Structure 1
Amino acid sequence: MKFVSWNVNGIRACVKKGFLDYFHEADADIFCIQESKLQEGQIDLQLDGYEQYWNYAERKGYSGTAVFTRKKPLSVRYGIGDKETEAEGRSIILEFADFYLVNIYTPNSKRDLSRLEYRLQWEEELREYLLELNSKKPVIYCGDLNVAHAEIDLKNAKSNIGNSGFTYEEREKMTKLLESGFVDSFRYLYPEKTDVYTWWSYMSKVRERNIGWRIDYFIVSKQLEHHIEEAEIHHQVLGSDHCPVVLKMTNLNA
């Protein structure tokens, strides 16, 4: 099976910049997006052969997630833990025969770290929820997770220590999750690969010079690690300040 995840930073804008060309070229079984930035009825995506599931934020032009899947899931929910819904549209969970698919847009702790406490609480609730799901069947967890886990995952690590997305607290939450029985699919295959990023600032020439961060992931239950066939970062794909990330799995059925 082939999975794609992409923070599109506004699906309406991204469609004007080639989203559909990439979508059809990717030919994914399941395609997840984050930061859709719209409300219901503001776009009509013609994606033949795909079921569409959208979680809209209450605030206009903000956050939001969606999943496009060739096979209809057994169940769908919008919200983690005890939350059946959540105001910022940050999560969609699809249950399939062999696994759960969890699409997440993790809250940013903000430049001044004013939202760090909220972010850390979110991480705890999410980890507990992922463990609950994992006790039933394996999990494939993806999205813009708004953290570079290790120094290898961003260009200028030393100067960014303590900054939003690279605080010790955020990185420790990722470590704690992985130690709970999950695997970062890209690092599983490429533990020492450098200069591979998924997000670049819009500042002049930053992307051209590849001064980026790897903050978009596919994380899978440890029992699925031997099913990981390939993990790719499509850095050449434009249309957003993020690029798509891809996971290919063997012997997995939706």
Structure 2
Amino acid sequence: MKFISWNIDSLNAALTADSARAILSRDVLNTIIKCNPEIIALQETKLPNNGPTKKHLGILGDMFPDYEIAWNSSVEPARKGYAGTMFLHKKDLKPSVSFPVIGAPSTMDAEGRIITLEFDHFYLTQVYTPNAGDDLNRLEDRQIWDIKYADYLVNLDKEKYVIATGDFNVAHKEIDLAHPNNNRRSAGFTDEERQGFANPLEKGFIDTFRYVHGDATGMYTWWAQRAKTSKINNSGWRIDYWLVSDRIADKVIKSEMIDSGPRQDHTPILLEINL
């Protein structure tokens, strides 16, 4: 089976806007379509609290005629049009869909950050992990989130094996970003966040990219938009992941990035696994 995950940074813009960036986003969506994955996971959809509009659904139906859609949007008391996740899965798949609440602090559980698909023999879950903030003002809440989320994965893993993906908003190791020494206390590379990401890895999960590629360097999933030359110079971070239960590690065939061309920000990531 082939799965693709992507932080799209506004599905509305990708579907309806005419800006240069929106056009690049649609190019990436078309690249994903050509890969013909069974399931697509999207993060940071930024849709209204009641989900995609009729216009969105019409465009999605035209672009992805063979897929069913499930979404989780940010709702009050969280900010509107914030965060959010979506799955598109082939119509012949018939998963049960859930929108877990993990007991996270503040408004995190209301921000549409997790969707889980349950199949006969496995779970596929996606996450958009909260950012610690430029001033690390949300770091303490983020640490609690990381603990709660790891516990959630472990509990799923007790029932059947788990595939977890998404934007985890952290570079785990020094080799996962271009300039570790300059980012020791930057959001996404604090010791606290790195340990938070290590929690599920210490409890029965593997980072499939590292499983396949070892200690390969210079391979990233995100390049800052604020720095116009970040992607040209490959000053990136690897903050998007496919994790799987360690007992199915040998079923992983591919775990890699998909080329998003000149578009900065996130690039899609692919997992091919023999299920």
- TM-score of the aligned structures, taking structure 1 as reference length: 0.93
How far is 1:239 from its partner? Answer: 4.8
Q: Higher relative CO (CA 8 A, sep ≥ 6), structure 1 or 2?
A: 1
Gaps of 5+ in 1: none
Contact 2:4/2:32 (8 A) holds in 1 = no
Match of 2:166, SS state, is: strand
Which residue pairs with 1:53 in the alignment?
Answer: 70
- Write the deviation string for residues 195-223 of structure 1: whole angstroms up to 9, x where unpaired: 01101111211111110000000000001
The counterpart of 2:34, out of the listed 12, 25, 42, is: 25
Contact 1:65/1:104 (8 A) holds in 2 = yes
How far is 1:237 from its partner? Answer: 4.1
Seq. identity, %: 40
Map residues 108-187 of structure 1 onto 2, 5 A cutoff.
108-187=131-210
Which residue pairs with 1:6 in the alignment?
Answer: 6
Map residues 78-89 of structure 1 onto 2, 5 A cutoff.
78-81=99-102, 86-89=109-112
Contact 2:39/2:89 (8 A) holds in 1 = yes
Which residue pairs with 2:252 in the alignment?
Answer: 228
1:94 equivalent to 2:117? Answer yes
Match of 1:186, SS state, is: helix
Distance 1:231 1:49 in 2: 24
- Write the deviation string for residues 54-75 of structure 1: whole angstroms up to 9, x where unpaired: 0011233210000011144442
Partner amino acid, structure 2, of 1:220: V
RMSD over aligned Cα atoms: 1.6
Partner amino acid, structure 1, of 2:199: K
- TM-score of the aligned structures, taking structure 2 as reference length: 0.87
How far is 1:238 from its partner? Answer: 5.2
How far is 1:177 from its partner? Answer: 1.4
Give the length in aligned residue pairs.
250
Quick check: which one's helix share is greater? Answer: 2
How far is 1:94 from its partner? Answer: 0.7
Gaps of 5+ in 2: 16-21
Match of 2:109, SS state, is: coil
How far is 1:240 from its partner? Answer: 5.7
After the TM superposition, list the runs of 4 or more consecutive aligned residues in structure 1 that deviate by more than 6 angstroms.
none
Match of 1:86, SS state, is: helix
How far is 1:111 from its partner? Answer: 1.0
Partner amino acid, structure 2, of 1:2: K
How far is 1:125 from its partner? Answer: 0.8
1:206 equivalent to 2:230? Answer yes
How far is 1:226 from its partner? Answer: 0.3
Match of 2:136, SS state, is: coil
